[in-house]
Amino acid sequence: MAQTEVECSQTKNFPAVEVWDTNLVARSEAFDFYREGICTAFMPLRPERSRTGRQDFHAKVECHKLDRCVLNVVSAQVHSVLRGRSEIAASPHDCFYLNLPLVGHSRISQSGSSITLRAGEVGIFDSAEPFEIQHENHGTLGVASLMMPKYLLSDIEISGPKKLSQHPVFGRILTEATYTLAQTVSSASNIEVNLLQQLIIQLASAATQQSVAPIEGLTQRTAQFLRIKHAIRLNCSKQDFDLTRCGAIVGLSTGYIQQIFSSHSMRFTALLLEERLLLAERNISDPALRHFPISGIAYRSGFSDLSHFGRVFKERFGVSPGVWRKQSTVQRH
């Protein structure tokens, strides 16, 4: 059974969450346990993996019950996912899935068309039509998927999956808002989460339209802040990336960027450091980079001083980079 970490969101200041972690069951039961988890979290789906691949399968599903939507965050070894007519018929309602890959990439096929989503890209597709999701042939996957009931997006009409992160106006803001929701849903308050949820719904609706009405509540400074954060995330691996270079990328003065951060009670340098640490953690935990030296991980994550990297990593995650890698390896096995 799933581990319920929060029984009722009304008694806490953050959303309720259920977790399915295959480390809690026998290896022979892991894939079936995972299937139970995603079918409960996403509505009926059909995950598939070879019989031999199921024998050493590891995954974790977090299902966050928001005010009107459901956010699922999944990390697992790669596999395919199908949803056919029988699964659709067994579902209580229809929704749109808004997917953001966090690790790896996925190919979503539906209604005769396909899109490929890579880490940092956002796409939308319909739960009421059969689909297939294929991931890479090996390694791990990570995805944040927001289930948005169709009544919230009555103006959306799509045929097949659609990549929204490419939208020239709303794409970057939508991507940043979705990523922020996935990263903060466990720590943000219900009010903050619901504001993000509403923003994502409005942006997703706008990004699917040829022409859109003004989006209420999305101020210019909010949009600029999200654009700056997106630029930091894309460029944090560059050791020479700083406030001046960020300003050149987003077309804003360094003083104005500092004002925007101050209005959000944040500092540019603190966010840049956080993004570099998160990138380093993902690289250290990536099985494909398990033979890559820690020093190399530090440099490719934007750090130029190895001792500084070791110190701030331990402050952020509680252990040294080397110990973190060992713990990640043990958890996978």
155-214 pLDDT per residue, tens = 777 889 999 998 888 898 999 999 999 988 888 878 888 889 989 999 999 898 754 444
Please, what's the largest Cα pairwise distance for the chain?
58
Confidence of residue 120 (pLDDT cuts 50, 70, 90): confident
User: If one looks up domain 232-332 in CATH, what number appears?
Assistant: 1.10.10.60
pLDDT at 300: 92
The whole-angstrom separation of Cα 231 and Cα 249 is 7
Q: How many CA atoms lie within 13 A of 19 on its CB side?
A: 13
Question: What residues does CATH 1.10.10.60 cover in the chain?
Answer: 232-332
pLDDT at 63 over 70: yes
Percent of the chain with pLDDT over 90: 56
pLDDT at 289 over 90: no
Integer CA distances (angstroms), 176 to 43, 122, 184, 207, 247, in order:
26, 10, 12, 14, 18
Mean pLDDT, to the nearest integer, of 90-118?
92
Contact status, residue 325 vs residue 294, Cβ threshold 8 Å: yes
Confidence of residue 5 (pLDDT cuts 50, 70, 90): very low
The whole-angstrom separation of Cα 98 and Cα 164 is 9
> Range with the lowest mean pLDDT among 85-89, 90-94, 256-260?
90-94
pLDDT at 101: 92
Handedness of CA 316, 231, 124, 188 (dihedral sign): positive
pLDDT at 69 over 90: yes
pLDDT at 220 over 80: no
- Given the structure tokens 């954060």, which residue do they identify? 229
What does the mean pLDDT of the chain come to? 86
Which one, of 45, 32, 43, lies nearest residue 1 by Cα? 32
pLDDT at 56: 83
Mean pLDDT, to the nearest integer, of 286-306?
91
Contact status, residue 113 vs residue 160, Cβ threshold 8 Å: yes
Confidence of residue 31 (pLDDT cuts 50, 70, 90): very high
pLDDT at 193: 87
Mean pLDDT, to the nearest integer, of 279-296?
88
Q: What is the pLDDT of residues 11-29, one digit of tens each?
A: 345 568 899 999 999 999 9
User: If one looks up domain 3-206 in CATH, what number appears?
Assistant: 2.60.120.10
Contact status, residue 332 vs residue 287, Cβ threshold 8 Å: yes
pLDDT at 223 over 90: no
Based on the number of CB atoms within 10 Å of its own CB, is 211 exposed (0-12), middle (13-18) or buried (19 or more)? exposed
